[in-house]
Amino acid sequence: MKRIACFAGTLLSLYFTTATVSAENFDINAGFTIGVQQGDYADIVDRNAFGLSVDAVYTPESFPVGFGLDISFMNYGSEERRENFSSTIPDVRVDVENTNNMATMCFLVRYRPIDKGAVSPYLDGLFGFRYLYTDTEITSDYEVIASDTNFDDFAGTYGFGGGVGIKLHTFDTPMDDGKLVTLYLDLKVRYMKGGEAEYLKEGSIIRDGSSVSYESYKSYTDMMVYVIGLGVRF
């Protein structure tokens, strides 16, 4: 997760730096995300994915097409248990958690009509990559003692969708260039085609005494993605 966060932070920082130099219309949205597996992926993983997503889009003035980045993180399963710290220290107990996660980063093209009223619909096209991984963390009193990635794989992804921004409030204080800041409710749905990947799910980690093995699965990773969140436009 630290690798994804670092990479995402670097790309977003670079994007913000280049885009805000001549920003004429900038949107930032963040929201709660639900991923519903499709096809063979749904047959294997019987639990929806839940997480967060953020997108940032730059649209030139008087132009209906914007460009940006979309980043999401979702969890599609976890297992927790209490264990002895080690075979030689059985009097110390720790929490062990296995989590199955998915991080996605896509380039985004958004078409939004120039006339933005109280309700502003838009269409999205996306393409990028998806990172599926299973982590194990050992914690004691909510402090992480050790962690490791048990299994991971990458897959390409692309898709399309649409959404709507519903204006909630326009702040009276304008920015330096005279533009106002608008807060809006952001609702979107997308169909994302996912490339073939190998991954784990709940119950895939098999422990036998001091040894461990993994029952992995392989399929395409298509998903329907639903997002409800908030956005700001300036």
In the numeric block, the tokens 């209490």 are attached to 82
Say if residues 201 and 37 touch (Cβ distance below 8 Å).
Answer: no
| Torsions phi, psi for 142 (to 5 deg) | 65, 10
Rounded to an integer, what distance in angstroms lies between the CA atom of residue 41 and that of residue 105? Answer: 20
Longest dimension (CA), the chain: 69
Query: What's the pLDDT at 18?
Result: 41
pLDDT over 90 (residue 234): no
Give the helix/strand (H/E) hosting 133: strand 119-140
User: What tokens does 72 get?
Assistant: 């999401």
Query: What's the pLDDT at 220?
Result: 97
Give the model confidence (pLDDT) of 96-148 as tens digits: 999 999 999 999 999 998 766 799 999 999 999 999 999 999 998 888 888 99
Rounded to 5°, the CA angle 66-67-71 comes to 125
Rounded to an integer, what distance in angstroms lies between the CA atom of residue 226 and that of residue 163? Answer: 10
Give the model confidence (pLDDT) of 61-97 as tens digits: 888 999 999 999 999 999 998 888 777 778 888 999 9
Say if residues 200 and 100 touch (Cβ distance below 8 Å).
Answer: yes
Partner residues linked to 224 by β-bridges: 36, 191
User: What tokens does 84 get?
Assistant: 């002895």
Query: What's the pLDDT at 115?
Result: 66
Q: What is the dihedral of CA 145, 138, 45, 152, to 10 degrees?
A: 40
Give the model confidence (pLDDT) of 2-38 as tens digits: 444 554 454 445 444 444 434 458 999 999 999 999 9
User: What tokens does 126 get?
Assistant: 């996306």
Query: Residue 221's Cα: distance from chain center in Å?
Result: 15
